[in-house]
Chains A and B, each alone.
Chain A
Amino acid sequence: MKSLNTYNRFLQKVNDSMKIFRQELILVFKDEGVLIFFILVPILYPLLYSWIYNNEIVKEVPAVVIDNSNTPLSREFIRKLDATQGVKIIGHANNLEEGKEAIARQKSRGIINIPKEFTTDIIHGKQTFVSIYTDMSGMLYYKSILIAATDVSLAMGADLLVKKAGNTTKREDQLTKAPLKFQDVPIFNPAVGYGSYLLPGVLVLIIQQTLLLGIGLSAGTTRENNRYRGLVPVEHHTHGIYSIIFGKGLCYFLVYSIIATWITLIVPHIFNFIQMGKANDLIGILFPYLLACIFFGMTLSTLIRYRENVILFVVFTSVPLLFLSGLLWPETSISGTWRAISCLFPSTFGVNAFVKIRSMGATLHEVKFEYIALWAQVAVYFLTSCLVYTIEIRRSKRMQKSRLQQVREENMI
């Protein structure tokens, strides 16, 4: 008899959860604010960001050259520099002032100054110095010009060395050029593309931020709509906290499993960004990540009185969180305090784990630390959401009681 009762009560709970799940799902699609952040932004923003960074690398940075030497050797240098992928020589300048003028007009990003003694120095066996000046408003311009110029100078240097050596065989030439060969291998992002580096982190952060926004807005709507400005409507009191949390959680989870698939699997595929991880590993890490974000969002949502304050909170945290994830700023250069604070947010572990799996081909086992941390967050934030919901329900009940009492007193008079 008793077990049947328990079973019935369990069924009742499941029913309650499903009811709340349905209500929440309807709200997601009816409330335009929630709709924007749950559906529209996660669908459009990844596309927009992918478009912005689709070109991946900075190529053919325009530069002007001042050829004071004007000899075959200096012209060879310029020709070779122009042929690189990094630099495009757009013209000659007579002096530094003219070169700067071109930068001021945004026509050029750098000046290459070849000294008058370029060829004579080389012939006399002296080192010659080619100066490059770059517009430092963009670090990537600097990098591009510097690498191209260095490459050309080394290649020409090696050629000159060979000429002087007076070797008799090709093999000897090669040895003179380079007794030791070097190769650099960029791993995990072979094209060193900007989009491939920035996007995975941004995409994962978008998941967290829009979830927080959507959950917060939905909670705000509920709160503003119901009589006592409580988070839990009166008619839900009988359901108990678990039904509420499971019902709502399930709704968010369902919507976001679709969104997350779109963001992490489909969008990168459309734009051909590097994708190394296996789908199973990605799903494995996204599962706790979504749960952690959902419960974190639920906990936060109780602290927010007006819908609009959620927007403020999320907007305020977006950029700082991207920095804290260690993606933009090297993790080893972030101080302990900031790292401790970053542990509060699911995105810190989510971004790291995701980047490792997606861009570096790690398996779920290899991101054990982040995986465990995310599950720990799931547990902690689940408990905190239970706690805050309990408090909210008590508050609503108290409000209801006092209101009832008030009505009774009024009637007595």
Chain B
Amino acid sequence: MKTLHALWNVLVAELALLATKPVYWFCMLLIPLFLIFYFTNLMEKGLPKDMPVAIVDLDNSKTSRTLMRMLDSYQSAHIVAHYASISDARKATQDAKIYGFFYIPQGTEEKMIGGRQPMISFYYNASVMIAGSLIYKDMRAIATMAQAAMGQAKMRAKGMSDKDIKAQIQPIVIDAHATNNPFLNYSMYLNTTLIPACIALFIFIVTAYSFGGELKFGHAKKMMKTANNSIAIAMTGKMVPQTIIWTIVIWTYEYWLYYANAFTHNCSFGFLMLLGLLLVLASQGMGIFMFGIFPSMRMSMSIGALWAVLSFSVTGFTFPVTSMDTAIQAMSWLFPVRSHYMIYQIHVLNGFPAYYALSYFFALICFTLLPLLVMSKIKRVMQTYIYIE
């Protein structure tokens, strides 16, 4: 009974603190909600379309104009300019006016008629990844089509039907199934991990901030007294209100992505909610652990932030972890967001049974339990530490 009473008192004190300090309003509600809006709004179109490309047509013939028309009919590229030379086009690429250009050299048609295999080039800017690779894909399709178109005339003269011609020119067709993301929606591909990673990052540092704040603003001893000098009560009382707020934030993003934006999810909403809760608990656990190791507000926040920023890379949702060095592959287990991503990938996106992701659930639970290791140290710090500086 006494314990419950103490817990209640800590809870109330923490709630009052959360409500009255603007920094909590910003970091726990306003900024995360803003980020959810920001990222989904930025990538609203899903797949970038009509990216500017150009043509350098030195042949200026019927063939070259046919090629141009073909290029323009594809969805991700849009011809915006003609340049007189390669160096002009290259400069425009450098200025980010275009992402690539077709180069049709002089004498293309002539060589074609004479059967001398003219060469057409496509230059694309590979230093901007998404734009570069989307255009590259279209370019390859066009190349195949153009080849076909050029060969067609001859075959038609032999009296072949269109269907036969197609089969002649491209006997094997690759039918790509982008399972669960058929439209290659980049928003769905990036935001499903980017947003939880951002929220986890905030959980890390706000957790460290709220514990460090007790020391810095000199309330630590008072808090311990309220909690009957039990660190378990103090921690639970401090964390539970935050857990609730974070969980609501996470559920908001899940609702926003998977329902409002209808992103693929091959699982129940109940599972998503559970996964969200697990991420919150794991991140809080990690945050407390970092505070336990570096029991000062600034240090634990800095380390937490530095750690969390790495998780954007080590999660491997852009550049896969399996292509990184072995040491980094091992290190990836130390990031809660990585486990979250793996569970998302296995169960939520691909719809495989959740037991394939069992080890990642286990990892998240381990993160949640981390504070047990540093409890006694935090207790000592809270009772004896005096904030210097």
Contact = CB atoms under 8 A, between A and B. Distances in A.
Interface string B120-151: 11111111111111001101100110110011
B126 A180 contact: no
Given A128-B172, A130-B174, A178 B147 contact: yes
Contacts of B179: 133-136
B48 A332 contact: yes
Contacts of A225: 389
Contact of B171 (A122, A136, A188, A334): A122
Interface residues on B, range: 35 or more
Q: Which of A57, A138, A175 has the most CB atoms of chain B within a 10 A radius of its CB?
A: A138
Most buried by A among B90, B115, B127, B344: B127
B377 interface: no
Contacts of B309: 315, 318
A239 interface: no
A258 to B, nearest CB: 21
Contacts of B146: 180, 182
A341 to B, nearest CB: 10
Nearest to B313: A52
Interface stretch (A12-20, A247-255, A287-295, A355-363): A355-363
B209 interface: yes
Interface residues of A, number: 110
B354 to A, nearest CB: 10
Given A33-B298, A58-B319, A333-B48, A149 B169 contact: no
A26 interface: no
Given A58-B320, A182-B119, A360-B127, A128 B349 contact: no
A353 to B, nearest CB: 11
Interface string B183-209: 010100100001000100110010001
A320 interface: yes
Interface string B296-322: 011101100110111011101111100
A158 to B, nearest CB: 9
B1 interface: no
Given A125-B167, A164-B168, A329 B175 contact: no
Contacts of B301: 308, 311
Contacts of B49: 333
B8 to A, nearest CB: 29
A412 B217 CA distance: 35
A324 to B, nearest CB: 8
Q: Which among A58, A179, A327 has the greatest number of chain B C-beta atoms within 10 A?
A: A179
Given A182-B122, A186-B126, A133 B177 contact: yes
Interface string B81-117: 0000000001101111001000000001000100101
A125 B323 contact: no
A180 to B, nearest CB: 5
Interface stretch (A139-147, A229-237, A381-389): A139-147
Contacts of A180: 108, 112, 117-118, 120, 146-147, 150
A175 B198 CA distance: 55
B172 A153 contact: yes
Interface of A: 32-33, 36-37, 41, 45, 48-49, 51-55, 57-59, 77, 100, 103-106, 121-122, 125-143, 146-147, 149-150, 153-154, 156-157, 160-161, 164, 174-176, 178-190, 192, 194, 196-198, 217, 221, 224-225, 307-309, 311-312, 314-316, 318-320, 323, 326-335, 338, 352, 355-356, 359-362, 366
Given A128-B173, A362-B94, 9 more contacts: A125-B167, A125-B171, A134-B176, A138-B318, A139-B186, A142-B176, A154-B170, A198-B129, A333-B51
5 contacts: A59-B323, A104-B350, A136-B179, A146-B174, A197-B128
